[in-house]
Amino acid sequence: MGHPEEPGQMIRLSYNDIHKAIQKTAVKIKDEFAPTLFIAIGGGGFIPARILRTFCKTTTEGKKRNIPIQAVGLTLYESLGGIEEVAGTEVVRTQWLDFSTLGKNFNHGGLLGRRILVVDEVDDTRKTLIYTIRELQHDIKVQLEAVSDPDEKERLREETKLAIFVVHNKLKPKTAELPPDVQYFSAVDTPDVWLAYPWECDGDIDEHDRLRSENQDS
């Protein structure tokens, strides 16, 4: 991961590129997964999760309702030690879920019975996604252990689902496979180059959008 120096090695994205890519994939996500909770991985997943929410409302008692968004904060930490250590990276958890705010199902811990969609902007090495899924599976397991009725426990185990949505999936070897029961949605597959998102632009956003037209596929 890094900023390639050569021009053409970077893909610049405008806000509208991302909005349209999410709008298109939202149809498939609604049909094939029908999420009831978003977990946005910060900071890159925050804006995609908010855009996705616009296109994925649930209908309860005839009324359209927004799907709640919860946030987790994860940072890929690259050790600055010796060469071997630099190759080894790990995910640092800077923020996690507040189960007490996860709604009426609080007595079930907040995750049980939900169709949980984890949202991030890009799947690069996949480390962040693997870490997040493992942690959520652990939280779900702990919450299931607290359910005493075996039938209720089985029902909740069956109903609780995890899936992933990323705006961009870089086509490259990943560090690990995702569990087969975790559905995976990506809006756009990209080559393994640096993706420059509009919300990261700390200079002139109009210039960023102008330079976007130099992308090879434009």
Residue among 122, 136, 144, 163 that touches ligand 5GP (CB under 6 A): 122
Residue among 33, 38, 46, 197 that touches ligand 5GP (CB under 6 A): 197
Which listed residue (17, 120, 123, 124) is catalytic? Answer: 124
Residue among 53, 108, 126, 161 that touches ligand 5GP (CB under 6 A): 126
Residue 194 makes contact with ligand 5GP by CB under 6 A: yes
Residue 69 tokens read as: 């968004």
φ, ψ for residue 37, nearest 5 deg: -150, 135
**Alpha-carbon gap, residue 194 to 169, rounded angstroms:** 12
Residue among 25, 36, 128, 143 that touches ligand 5GP (CB under 6 A): 128
Q: Tell me which H or E stretch contains 19.
A: helix 15-32
Our CB check for ligand 5GP shows the closer of 34 and 76 to be 76
Q: Which stretch binds ligand 5GP (CB under 6 A): 17-25, 52-60, 120-128, 147-155?
A: 120-128
**Alpha-carbon gap, residue 130 to 212, rounded angstroms:** 31
Three-state DSSP class for residue 95 = strand
Residue 125 makes contact with ligand 5GP by CB under 6 A: yes
Three-state DSSP class for residue 202 = coil
Our CB check for ligand 5GP shows the closer of 120 and 147 to be 120
Contact 170, 123 (CB under 8 A): yes
Question: Rounded to whole angstroms, what are the CA distances from 41 to 10, 55, 108, 112, 206?
Answer: 23, 19, 23, 20, 27
Residues that bind ligand 5GP (rule: CB under 6 A) add up to a total of 15
Our CB check for ligand 5GP shows the closer of 85 and 200 to be 200
Annotated active-site residue 31? The verdict is no
Could you list the residues that contact ligand 5GP (CB under 6 A)? 1, 44, 76, 120, 122-128, 194-195, 197, 200
